[in-house]
């Protein structure tokens, strides 16, 4: 920040921090994150013989088999709590449609050409809902894989469906996970820190979530 | 079988043909179950328990002579009974010894994710190595015959070994040893197939079972347990023997195309993101322009 007050004469608070995530939200996020990494590790071990060594990293095949379902349940609880806290902020609205149309600007890092967004942008909302529905499907298919022996032979179509669905949907969540990690930990500077200490700079909020910034900073426009 | 380790196929510095090579010794074994001469005595069930060291389990009475509804993790050999009414109104008591079929193309092995938990020997025996089993139960999904069974106590899956421990030292399986009518045979696959075909022909030509035949389902590449049936057109009469068993399509898709699509997508995703970062770089916060009220 070599330039000083001259370049931003009326603000002077680019560096001031705005609270973005509560302590509970952050704790829950990191519980979910580490649990997802465990589920990813053990799941990939069962996915491919070339990745079976991953099971050894977390205690061996039988241990991974025994824990994966239980840990999956904890992930579901964590995600459902997130749903309880965030579903209002995650509702799609008209601004999302405008934002979705302008998505090439987002991809090319021309964020100033994007319409203002609230606490979460269209991409974050897509991520949230896709993860939520995926986890519901993973839970249902996972339960039938958990207790395969309890499914009678005449219900074997459930086994056949579950085995295919669980792997396919897990792949979808891996895609979501990779994009999420890339965008929040690597691409968008300031995002990762906000999930650690809970704050973003005013400039960050103004740049990436302008409607939300205007709300929380009391600068909301009266019109529209 | 062990002979494979002593038969030569190539010899260095040797003039002329390799002695013994080309004999096409058949090492593939098979068990033949002739359902037409089975009397349902269950000696094979007892012999199986005795040899494999399991104690007798509680039986389930369901108005037949059947010991329990299906095989169990500690009960690998079960005679299935079916009172079948034929078209002419006469009754037949169909009995079939149910156990692992030892498929040439085993669905359990295809579905198993644990390194070396299921192996197939050169003689055709498909065997579970419980030390490597992780108890996921995928084999139970892969099997078209409902054979692998989960033990909640051991948290591992068990099934018939075709007495691999006996066969490997030149003995026949325990069930074969116990059969009093000679409806069970054990030998090479070729010999058993020939014997089965001979018996089926006899049934067709002499005993009046026009539909008699051999059950060696091609959908799983053939099996190392084969049946002679009075009515080979309706194997399902024999305690639900599937007509055209195959490794489930979903298992094939999961272990085939899905794996490649998934792996490709994961790698492409990571490469794509790396490319994106190199091309466009990080998103940086801009400085607030307070008077900016963008006209939309």
pLDDT tens, B118-131?
Answer: 999 989 999 999 99
Angle between helices A23-47 and A156-181 (to 10 degrees): 120
For residue B23, pLDDT over 50 is answered with yes
| Alpha carbon A102 to chain centroid, angstroms | 21
Same domain? For B101 and B200 the reply is yes
> What are the residue ranges of helices labelled H in B92-188?
107-111, 138-142, 164-167, 174-178
pTM score, whole prediction:
0.88
Does A5 map to a domain? no
Mean pLDDT of chain B: 92
For residue B9, pLDDT over 90 is answered with no
Does B179 map to a domain? yes
The nearest CA of chain B is from the CA of A109 a distance in Å of: 6
Same domain? For B74 and B211 the reply is yes
Report residue A61's pLDDT band, with 50, 70 and 90 as the boundaries.
very high
Chain-chain contact of B282 with A161 (C-beta, under 8 angstroms): no
DSSP character string of B241-280: --SS----HHHHHHHTHHHHHHHHHHHHHHHHHHHHHHHH
pLDDT tens, B176-230?
Answer: 999 999 999 999 999 999 999 999 999 999 999 999 999 999 999 999 999 999 9
Total structural domains within chain A = 1
Does A202 map to a domain? yes
Same domain? For B128 and B223 the reply is yes
pLDDT tens, B224-275?
Answer: 999 999 999 999 999 999 999 999 999 999 999 999 999 999 999 999 999 9
Among B138, B249, B285, the residue with its CB nearest the CB of A203 is B285
Residues of B in contact with A201 (CB under 8 A): 285
* Domain at B87, CATH number: 3.30.70.20
**A5: contact with B, CB 8 A cutoff:** no
Does B288 map to a domain? no
- Look at residue A7 in the predicted model and tell me its pLDDT: 43
Helices (H) and strands (E) in chain B, counts: 8, 10
Does A169 map to a domain? yes
Mean pLDDT for the stretch of residues A148-176: 96
Higher-pLDDT residue of B292 and B205 is B205
Same domain? For B78 and B140 the reply is yes
Report residue A224's pLDDT band, with 50, 70 and 90 as the boundaries.
very low
Distance between CA atoms of residues A125 and B226, nearest Å: 57
For residue B88, pLDDT over 80 is answered with yes
Mean pLDDT for the stretch of residues A52-71: 96
Contact (Cβ atoms closer than 8 angstroms) between residue A177 and residue A40: yes
Contact (Cβ atoms closer than 8 angstroms) between residue A199 and residue A105: no
Does B289 map to a domain? no
Does A42 map to a domain? yes
**A108: contact with B, CB 8 A cutoff:** yes
Nearest Cα residue to B30 out of B222, B159, B201:
B222
Does A134 map to a domain? yes
* Domain at A48, CATH number: 1.20.950.20
Report residue B292's pLDDT band, with 50, 70 and 90 as the boundaries.
low
Same domain? For B164 and B48 the reply is yes
pLDDT tens, B67-86?
Answer: 999 999 999 999 999 999 99
Same domain? For B264 and B226 the reply is no
Does A165 map to a domain? yes
Which residue(s) pair with B34 in the sheet?
Answer: B228
Residues of B in contact with A179 (CB under 8 A): 269, 273
Same domain? For B44 and B130 the reply is yes
Same domain? For B111 and B198 the reply is yes
Does B134 map to a domain? yes
| Domain coverage including residue B120 | 24-247
For residue A187, pLDDT over 50 is answered with yes
Does A34 map to a domain? yes
Does B142 map to a domain? yes
For residue A191, pLDDT over 70 is answered with yes
Chain-chain contact of B286 with A207 (C-beta, under 8 angstroms): yes
- Look at residue B296 in the predicted model and tell me its pLDDT: 40
**A129-133, A204-208, B25-29: segment of lowest average pLDDT:** B25-29
Same domain? For B162 and B74 the reply is yes
Chain B 182-211, residues with CB within 8 Å of chain A CB atoms: none
- Look at residue B4 in the predicted model and tell me its pLDDT: 62
- Look at residue B8 in the predicted model and tell me its pLDDT: 76
Report residue A221's pLDDT band, with 50, 70 and 90 as the boundaries.
low
pLDDT tens, A64-97?
Answer: 999 999 999 999 999 999 999 999 999 999 889 9
Does A137 map to a domain? yes
Mean pLDDT for the stretch of residues B130-145: 96
Does B263 map to a domain? yes
Chain A 87-106, residues with CB within 8 Å of chain B CB atoms: 98
Chain B 52-81, residues with CB within 8 Å of chain A CB atoms: 70
Pairing of the two strands B78-85 and B91-98: antiparallel
The nearest CA of chain A is from the CA of B34 a distance in Å of: 26
Same domain? For B67 and B203 the reply is yes
Does B70 map to a domain? yes
- Look at residue A86 in the predicted model and tell me its pLDDT: 96
Does B293 map to a domain? no
Total structural domains within chain B = 2
Chain-chain contact of B137 with A149 (C-beta, under 8 angstroms): yes
- Look at residue B107 in the predicted model and tell me its pLDDT: 97
Same domain? For B136 and B264 the reply is no
Contact (Cβ atoms closer than 8 angstroms) between residue B21 and residue B11: no
Q: What percent of chain A is modeled with pLDDT above 70?
A: 91
For residue A31, pLDDT over 50 is answered with yes
Report residue A112's pLDDT band, with 50, 70 and 90 as the boundaries.
confident
- Look at residue B14 in the predicted model and tell me its pLDDT: 84
Same domain? For B212 and B265 the reply is no
Mean pLDDT for the stretch of residues B39-61: 94
Mean pLDDT for the stretch of residues A36-65: 96
């Amino acid at each position: 920040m070599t330039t000083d007050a001259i370049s931003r004469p009326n603000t002077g608070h680019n560096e001031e921090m705005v609270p973005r995530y509560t302590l509970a939200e952050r704790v829950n996020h990191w519980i979910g994150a580490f649990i997802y990494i465990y589920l990813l590790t053990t799941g990939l071990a069962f996915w491919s013989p070339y990745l079976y060594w991953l099971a050894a990293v977390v205690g061996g095949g039988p241990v991974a088999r025994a824990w994966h379902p239980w840990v999956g349940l904890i992930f579901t609880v964590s995600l459902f709590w997130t749903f309880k806290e965030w579903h209002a902020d995650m509702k799609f609205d008209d601004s999302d449609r405008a934002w979705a149309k302008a998505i090439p600007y987002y991809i090319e890092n021309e964020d100033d050409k994007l319409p203002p967004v609230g606490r979460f942008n269209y991409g974050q909302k897509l991520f949230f809902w896709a993860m939520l529905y995926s986890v519901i499907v993973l839970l249902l298919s996972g339960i039938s894989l958990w207790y395969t022996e309890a499914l009678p032979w005449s219900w074997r179509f459930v086994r056949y469906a579950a085995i295919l669905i669980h792997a396919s949907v897990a792949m979808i969540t891996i895609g979501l996970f990779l994009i999420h990690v890339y965008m929040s930990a690597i691409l968008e500077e300031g995002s990762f820190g906000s999930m650690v200490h809970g704050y973003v700079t005013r400039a960050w909020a103004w740049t990436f979530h302008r409607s939300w910034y205007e709300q929380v900073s009391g600068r909301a426009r009266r019109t529209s | 079988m062990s002979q494979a380790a002593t038969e030569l196929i190539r010899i260095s510095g040797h003039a002329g043909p390799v002695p013994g090579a080309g004999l096409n010794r058949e090492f593939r074994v098979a068990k033949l179950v002739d359902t037409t001469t089975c009397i349902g005595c269950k000696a094979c069930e007892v012999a199986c328990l005795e040899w494999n060291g399991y104690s007798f389990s509680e039986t389930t009475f369901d108005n037949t002579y059947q010991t329990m509804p299906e095989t169990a993790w500690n009960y690998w050999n079960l005679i299935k009974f079916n009172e079948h009414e034929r078209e002419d109104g006469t009754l037949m008591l169909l009995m079939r010894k149910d156990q692992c079929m030892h498929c040439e193309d085993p669905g359990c092995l295809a579905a198993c994710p644990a390194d070396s938990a299921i192996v197939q020997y050169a003689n055709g025996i498909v065997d579970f190595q419980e030390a490597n089993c992780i108890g996921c139960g995928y084999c139970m999904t892969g099997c078209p015959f409902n054979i692998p069974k989960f033990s909640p106590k051991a948290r591992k899956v068990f099934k018939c070994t075709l007495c691999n421990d006996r066969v490997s030292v030149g003995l026949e399986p325990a069930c074969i040893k116990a059969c009093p009518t000679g409806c069970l045979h054990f030998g090479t696959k070729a010999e058993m197939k020939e014997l089965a075909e001979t018996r089926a022909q006899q049934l067709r030509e002499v005993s009046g079972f026009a539909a008699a035949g051999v059950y060696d389902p091609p959908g799983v590449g053939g099996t190392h347990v084969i049946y002679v049936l009075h009515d080979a057109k309706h194997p399902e009469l024999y305690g639900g023997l599937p007509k055209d068993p195959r490794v489930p399509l979903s298992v094939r898709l999961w272990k085939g195309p899905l794996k490649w699509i998934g792996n490709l997508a994961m790698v492409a995703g990571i490469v794509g993101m790396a490319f994106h970062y190199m091309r466009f770089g990080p998103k940086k916060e801009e400085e607030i322009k307070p008077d900016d009220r963008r006209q939309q």
